[in-house]
Amino acid sequence: MKFYHLWVWLGGITMGVITYSVQGAGGFFTVDGQSMTYESDTDTVIGFCLASSRICCDSGETCPDSVTKCSSTSSFLNAQKWPWILIYSFVLLVLFVSVCVLTLAWHRLYLRGVPKTYNIRLRVLNYISFFTGAYVFYWLLLLLLYMCAYFLSTKSDTSNSKAVAQVLRQLVIFLISSKGYLDYVIWFAVNNIERKGGNGRDESADVDVDLSPQVNTALRSEILYYTTSGIKESVRAVTDELISIPISGESEAGKSIKFWSFCPASFRNIRLTFGISDADYIQMFGATTKERFSEGRSGAFMFYTSDESLIVKTMSPEECAFLRKIAPNYEAYMTSNPDTLLTRFYGCHSVSLYGKMYYFVVMGNLFADTDVVHHRYDIKGSWVDRNAKVPSPGDKTACRYCNASYTFGSTKNQECGDGMNFHEPDIVLKDNDLMTKVRSLFSTRGHHMVSVLTFLFGATDSY
């Protein structure tokens, strides 16, 4: 998106500077591509303000020296020099890049991936292909009509040709001015709108549709599959950092995904120190649960193992490099101090999907073996912007009991699937929230205040 804005603003500013500063660049653009006679009346000419068509001096007229003489042999490219530079070049470049990117996307569709997500990726590519094809067709049709109007008006003197050229000019103007309707048509064609009856809105407002810009549902499924498969395989090949995971499916024979397990021996020793054998570690990744995005600024994607004893969380390449750098010292400290309150990292991995690297860290879940935690505090040691964000009515949020996504403040579907609890937002409280809670507890229930302050801790309400 940043590149898109940069392209639009730089392109617009560049064209504006050229049309303002260069003589003859900006002005009146004729739809039929012909040169305009110097000081001619533009009321009878079909065109609009854009990059200027060539202005020439008719025979017998007195014109400035900078204006060239009109000639019947003037070519289309000569008459339309600035439109070619400022308009056509940009249009052709965008269309060419769009087709190249689309071709690359189709190639990558068959390159690698989980077969069960093929239909989802295929549908998305079909939408993009339809969109790109519609715009290529639009501009090619516009160019065809534009060239026809030019040649009919310049190469033929018959009245019929002049009349047809006039109609083509009007049609070109209509297509250019109504370009916005093309988006309208594409939107309806892609979304395949179906009219529903009055009872079609029973509970649709509370249905959660994951449109997260970080990771869509199909890609998330693939990341989960390859991450868990790679972690289990890395335990069996503890001395290898690079592992190839075969893609399932008959049509995917011979293809594999690259998976990296960084410093496997160091993290294996840490796992053994805390009583997690290789067999236990593999069994933990037999299934996953509770996929979500973190509530921190990073917006990292994370998921839990089936018993919720481990958390797998995405991280940046810089964080991965730092963890690999300190891995030997971290291993030595953790194995020598098993009672430490530092976060327990059990693995550092990465997987390559569709040309992009995803980095993951496996860590212990602090609340895996505890009672129900009613309040969680994430302490960073700062008071700047350290308040938890409370959801507003209408916001999508996750329930702290059942992890289901629901609409906060809605009057429908507020009961958890277990039939025992009602949806409540899952909020990680922060530094300022803790200070407020501490003051409240000391003033009202001081004799109940027993806590150990670490970077992350939970509290259970007493009744």
Instruction: Indicate left, alpha or beta for 33 from its phi (over 0: left) and psi (-120 to 50: alpha).
Output: left
d(CA 171, CA 397): 51
In this structure, of 40-54, 80-94, 167-181, 339-353, the range with the lowest mean pLDDT score is: 40-54
Residue 288: is it exposed, middle or buried by C-beta count within 10 angstroms (0-12/13-18/19+)? middle
Say if residue 163 is in the same domain as residue 264: no
Question: Do you know the residue count of the chain?
Answer: 463
Does a structural domain hold residue 376?
no
Among 310, 341, 368, identify where a domain stops. Answer: 368
pLDDT tens digits, 450-463? 333 445 666 676 65
Asked if residue 259 has pLDDT above 90, the reply is no
In a domain, 260, yes or no: yes
Domain that residue 337 falls in: 214-368
81 and 141 belong to one structural domain: yes
Query: Does 293 map to a domain?
Result: yes
Asked if 146 and 174 count as a contact pair (C-beta separation under 8 A), the reply is no
Candidate ranges 119-128, 229-238, 243-252; pick with highest mean pLDDT: 229-238
Same domain, yes or no: 187 and 289: no
With 70 as the cut, is the pLDDT of residue 29 above it? no
* Cα distance between residue 125 and residue 19, in whole Å: 38
The answer to the question of residue 65 being in a domain is: yes
User: Per the structure, how many domains does the chain have?
Assistant: 2
Among 22-31, 267-276, 408-417, top mean pLDDT goes to: 267-276
The answer on pLDDT for 203 being more than 60 is no
pLDDT at 332: 93
Residue 452's pLDDT is 37
Last residue of a domain, one of 327, 345, 368: 368
β-pairing, 26-30 vs 396-398, is: unpaired
Least confident of 99-103, 145-149, 386-390, 402-406: 386-390
Sequence letter at residue 410: S
Verify that 360 and 325 share a domain, yes or no: yes
Beta strands 428-429 and 375-378, pairing class: parallel
Residues 267 and 175 in one domain: no
- Amino acid identity of residue 430, one-letter, is K
Mean per-residue pLDDT, 137-165? 78
Task: Decide if pLDDT at 201 tops 70.
Answer: no
Strands 26-30 and 47-51: antiparallel
With respect to residue 87, please indicate whether it lies within any of the assigned structural domains: yes
**What is the pLDDT, as a whole number, of residue 384?**
46
Spatial contact of 88 and 142, defined as CB atoms under 8 Å apart: no
Confidence label for 2 from pLDDT (cuts 50, 70 and 90): confident
Give residue 372's pLDDT. 67
CB atoms within 10 A of CB 130: 13
User: Is residue 222 domain-shared with residue 145, that is, in the same domain?
Assistant: no
Which residues does 265 contact at the CB level (< 8 Å), separation at least 6?
238, 239
Q: Do 251 and 159 belong to one domain?
A: no
- pLDDT band (50, 70, 90) for residue 295: very low
Neighbours of 451 (CB within 10 A): 14
pLDDT tens-digit map of 109-133:
765 555 555 666 777 788 888 888 8
pTM over 0.75: no
Residue 54 has pLDDT above 90, yes or no: no
Per-residue pLDDT band for 271 (boundaries 50, 70, 90) equals very high
Flag whether 402 is in a domain.
Answer: no
In a domain, 425, yes or no: no
Question: Which has the closest alpha carbon to 149: 171, 120, 131, 127?
Answer: 171
How much is the mean pLDDT over the chain?
Answer: 70
Highest mean pLDDT among 173-177, 193-197, 272-276, 371-375 belongs to: 272-276
